[in-house]
Amino acid sequence: MTLENNPEILKVENLKAYYQMNYFGVSREVRAVDDITVTMRKNEVYGIAGESSSGKTSFIKVLAAAIRPPLRVVSGTAKYSFSSGAIDVAHATPDEVEAVRWKHLSYIMQGSMSVLNPVRRIGKTFHDFAARPLGLKGKAFEDRVVAHLDRLKLPPDVLRAYPHELSGGMRQRVTIGLATVCHPEFIIADEPTTALDVVVQKEVLNLIRDIQKEMGASVVFVTHDMSVHANVADRVGIIYAGRLVEEGPTREMFFAPKHPYTAHLVASLPRIGDTQQRPALEGRPPNLADPPQGCRFHPRCPLAIDICRKEVPPLETIGPDHRTACWRWRDVAPLVHATQPAGVMA
Amino acid sequence: MTTLLDVRDVSKRFTMGGLFGRKQVDAVMDASFSLSAEKPEIFTIIGESGSGKTTLARMILGLEDPSRGEILFRGQKVDRHAGRAKRLEFMSNVQPVFQNPFEAFNPLKKIERYLESTARRFLHTSDKAAIDRAMDEALQKVGLSLREVRGRFPHEMSGGQLQRCAIARALIPNPPLLVADEPVSMVDASLRMSIVNLLKSLRDDLGVSVIYITHDLATAYYISNRLIIMQRGRIVEMGDARTVLDNPEHAYSRLLKASVLSTDDAGAGKLGTDPDMLRLANGSVGQAGRLIDRADGRSVRVYESV
Ligand SMILES: Nc1ncnc2c1ncn2[C@@H]1O[C@H](COP(=O)(O)OP(=O)(O)OP(=O)(O)O)[C@@H](O)[C@H]1O
Ligand SMILES: Nc1ncnc2c1ncn2[C@@H]1O[C@H](COP(=O)(O)OP(=O)(O)OP(=O)(O)O)[C@@H](O)[C@H]1O
Ligand code: SF4
Ligand SMILES: [Mg+2]
Ligand SMILES: [Mg+2]
């Protein structure tokens, strides 16, 4: 399904966000988000994948208006068009952010514990966050929350529990519940299902999709689990070393990736039955305080040529909804066939 | 055969909800298994979210007392209340890697402080150069270096980097048993394989046994010798990892395997679960049943009514 014609809900332009630190007079700058331009549409599920520490969480923090020093927006914009009006979260004031939080924009952080107050019962936390936006009180509020938790396969008892009394996966579902109970227009989720068993994971992903469909909401989620992207996302974007290197419709990204790093990612997924090691990426992850010149992937790229070492490849549109930043995107196809095990090609 | 770890009919009951509205939760019920001292292995625990995996791990680490049953490490009872010296000796032998690296580290403490205090404690030294060397060695084993980590706070690291630091910390005392609770759930596929391979080489080259808790059936298949599958506090199936995963017998094990998402239909939005499988898997919940042995070496929980 392509949602090409749906109206835009988020437009990110030339966004740069760096961690700027000063240790005893020595300054250090980590260019975690380095010139990202991307558009997200109403009713769309956009999946983000990429290497560990490539800047996914940092990017998503800007989108979620959860920017705290030393992270700073250096340039660019991130504009939402909510039903309540437009807001550029890269430059919004805390009050402006407060006005859209939970009701229009919600954020499920990586490592779920951090939003849950350890000395507050789950029920109280729900009350703190959701009672006002929902405009419900007492029994009516509790009923709504209980019904919502039920969809996440959580019993009403969790409302009486303290966070440490729940398992990791239960806490993760609680935060998903918090982020979705107010039916926001835009849901941002960082690794929302990593702590769940595969049965519950499927149910939770279904819930996220259902809410998204019912409400016409948009979802951006980050996960390392490529099989989640494969089954949930409409489009997938790949981040490498602080940059968006490829984005496209999910099917194309899996079966016809046009960037060598994407090709590696989709082939690296181990499967049940694998006893053989899959090829790992050569070399070390790039240092974001001093990223490689030219294409940032060049030191590890099997297709690298001279120009890659000198010039940054532009993020070029190569098909409907499909963009890639690679000088040699036309030559990626053979790479895919070489690395994918037999029987995977559709 | 001498045993490294012996888990004997262990159960754990929690009272949940603090002072008001108490409720009993049977987190683990009658779990039994043992690891041999001669044959290091990767022993995997998979299963439902909330089925007691972390609780079991915490009991093995002596962080939680069993309500019933006992756990022996090299013939000695794992005892949370043993004297300081005994605890320390035990801890140098059994090291944890926790589920969520963001929770495992105190946000106000520099990462190296953890590594440092672990090194000081277990290497019985305060020689700075020796401590630095031990930290760097451990970090190198997980693909990091002291140079990269020094001076940084947990929030200055990504999830994957933090998790590798947690593993590095656990490796400092060279323990014979590592209890790793979802060590790879937050890292990319490449790193995931490198960490899993690290566990494998710890077993093969250094003779370290690993209790590996995961939701990822593919890596479980790839590295485990044996595994157990848990549902609602009970072990429902146990045996050779490949035997069980190739052909799971218990209804919950079957559901688990069938629920693994695949990329074969990428873009088709397939998230359905077979309702019959779901019904069968939930059918036995709440019943005790009993574990019986099969000819292929596995044990599986069966119920009178089915
Ligand atoms: N508060 C901070 N101060 C300084 N550097 C930081 C901070 N937070 C993150 N970084 C650095 O920014 C880079 C990007 O980190 P980020 O958390 O965005 O990565 P990620 O793609 O989400 O990784 P993962 O998949 O492991 O979660 C990393 O090099 C990380 O060490
Ligand atoms: N300190 C505690 N007090 C009360 N109940 C607890 C406590 N710790 C765990 N529980 C309960 O025990 C059960 C098992 O939790 P545990 O954390 O062991 O599950 P798990 O198998 O590790 O799950 P996950 O895969 O989600 O991490 C859950 O119902 C949980 O709510
Ligand atoms: S631009 Fe060059 S180095 Fe970069 S991904 Fe393409 S071929 Fe590889
Ligand atoms: Mg992250
Ligand atoms: Mg757990």
Ligand 2 centroid to Cα of residue A331, in Å, is 50
Listed by number, the residues of chain B in 147-206 with a beta carbon closer than 8 Å to a beta carbon of chain A are: 151, 156-161, 182, 185-194, 197
Q: What is the mean pLDDT of residues A55-77?
A: 94
State the DSSP code for B64: S
The Cβ-side half-sphere exposure at B224, using a 13 Å CA radius, reads 31
CA distance B126 to chain A (A): 26
**Which tokens sit at A316?**
């070029």
- What's chain B's average pLDDT? 89
pLDDT given at position A315? 96
Where are the alpha helices (H) located in chain A, listed in sequence order? Answer: 56-63, 94-100, 122-134, 138-151, 168-180, 198-215, 226-232, 250-255, 260-267, 306-310, 333-339
B201 has pLDDT over 90: no
A188 has pLDDT over 80: yes
CA distance B87 to chain A (A): 24
Instruction: Quick: pLDDT tens for A86-128.
Output: 999 999 999 999 999 888 999 988 765 667 888 899 999 999 9
CA distance A235 to chain B (A): 9
A256 lies within 8 A of chain B by CB: no
Task: Locate the domains of chain B by residue range.
Answer: 1-93+177-248, 103-174
B195: enclosing H helix or E strand:
helix B189-206
> Most confidently modeled of A17-26, A105-114, B205-214?
B205-214
**Distance in angstroms (rounded) separating the CA atoms of residues A80 and A76:** 14
Max CA pair span of chain A: 67
Instruction: Quick: pLDDT tens for A120-153.
Output: 999 999 999 899 888 999 999 999 999 999 988 8
B47 lies within 8 A of chain A by CB: yes
A344 has pLDDT over 50: no
A31: enclosing H helix or E strand:
strand A26-41
Closest residue in A to B157 (Cα) is A53
- Listed residue (B54, B204, B255, B226) closest to A166, CA to CA: B54
Predicted structure pTM score? 0.90
Task: Characterise B255 by phi-psi region: left (phi > 0), alpha (psi -120 to 50), beta (else).
Answer: alpha
A183 has pLDDT over 70: yes
Q: What is the mean pLDDT of residues A253-260?
A: 95
Tell me which ligand sits closest to the C-alpha of residue A49. 1
pLDDT given at position A345? 36
Closest residue in A to B160 (Cα) is A52
A254 lies within 8 A of chain B by CB: yes
Q: Could you please report the per-residue DSSP string of A229-244? A: HHHH-SEEEEEETTEE
Instruction: Say how many C-beta atoms besides its own lie within 10 A of residue B299's C-beta.
Output: 21
Check if the beta carbon of residue B24 is closer than 8 Å to that of residue B15: yes
pLDDT given at position A341? 46
pLDDT given at position A338? 56
**Which tokens sit at A181?**
């109970």
Instruction: Quick: pLDDT tens for B92-101.
Output: 999 998 766 7
Interface confidence, given as ipTM, is: 0.87
CA distance A234 to chain B (A): 7
Lowest-confidence segment of A43-52, A279-288, B63-72, B253-262 by average pLDDT: A279-288
Q: What is the dihedral of CA B275, B280, B285, B291, to 10 degrees?
A: -150
**Distance in angstroms (rounded) separating the CA atoms of residues A342 and A255:** 13
pLDDT given at position A273? 82
Inter-chain touch A254–B267, beta carbons under 8 Å? yes
Residue from the list A23, A170, A225 with its beta carbon closest to the beta carbon of B50: A170
pLDDT given at position B305? 63
Architecture (CATH level 2) of domain B1-93+177-248: 3-Layer(aba) Sandwich (3.40)
Inter-chain touch A270–B259, beta carbons under 8 Å? no
Instruction: Quick: pLDDT tens for B291-306.
Output: 999 999 999 999 986 4
Hey, which residues does A12 pair with through a beta bridge? A38, A78
**Which tokens sit at A9?**
């809900």
B240 has pLDDT over 90: yes
Instruction: Say how many C-beta atoms besides its own lie within 10 A of residue A343's C-beta.
Output: 6
Closest residue in B to A278 (Cα) is B193
Inter-chain touch A52–B188, beta carbons under 8 Å? yes
Lowest-confidence segment of B52-66, B159-173, B198-212 by average pLDDT: B159-173
**Which tokens sit at B21?**
């509205």
| Identity at B259, one-letter amino acid code | S
- Listed residue (B186, B155, B98, B109) closest to A61, CA to CA: B155
Q: Is A268 helix (H, G, I), strand (E, B) or coil?
A: coil
B103 has pLDDT over 80: no
Residue from the list B151, B190, B222 with its beta carbon closest to the beta carbon of A268: B190
- Listed residue (A195, A221, A136, A187) closest to B101, CA to CA: A195
pLDDT band at A17 (very low <50, low <70, confident <90, very high): very high
Inter-chain touch B100–A161, beta carbons under 8 Å? no
Check if the beta carbon of residue A270 is closer than 8 Å to that of residue A226: no
Inter-chain touch B263–A266, beta carbons under 8 Å? yes
Residue A249 backbone phi and psi in degrees, to 5: -60, 140
- What's chain A's average pLDDT? 89
**Distance in angstroms (rounded) separating the CA atoms of residues A261 and A313:** 14
pLDDT band at B125 (very low <50, low <70, confident <90, very high): confident
Comparison of pLDDT for B139 and A344, the residue scoring more? B139
In ligand 1, the atom with minimum distance to the C-alpha of A242 is 14
Closest residue in B to A163 (Cα) is B17
A194 lies within 8 A of chain B by CB: yes
Q: Which domains does chain A have, with CATH numbers?
A: 1-42+49-101+234-270+281-335 (3.40.50.300), 115-222 (3.40.50.300)
Which residues in A lie closer than 8 A to residue B286 (C-beta atoms)? none
pLDDT band at A237 (very low <50, low <70, confident <90, very high): very high
A342 has pLDDT over 50: no
Cα dihedral across residues B97, B103, B104, B110: positive or negative: positive
Query: How much of chain A, in percent, has pLDDT values that exceed 90?
Result: 61
Check if the beta carbon of residue A156 is closer than 8 Å to that of residue A147: no
pLDDT band at A209 (very low <50, low <70, confident <90, very high): confident
Check if the beta carbon of residue A38 is closer than 8 Å to that of residue A47: no
pLDDT band at A285 (very low <50, low <70, confident <90, very high): confident
pLDDT given at position A343? 37
Tell me which ligand sits closest to the C-alpha of residue A59. 1
Residue from the list B219, B245, B256 with its beta carbon closest to the beta carbon of A198: B256
A3 lies within 8 A of chain B by CB: no
Which residues in A lie closer than 8 A to residue B20 (C-beta atoms)? 160
Residue from the list B47, B192, B246 with its beta carbon closest to the beta carbon of A197: B47
Nearest protein Cα to ligand 3, atom 6: A326
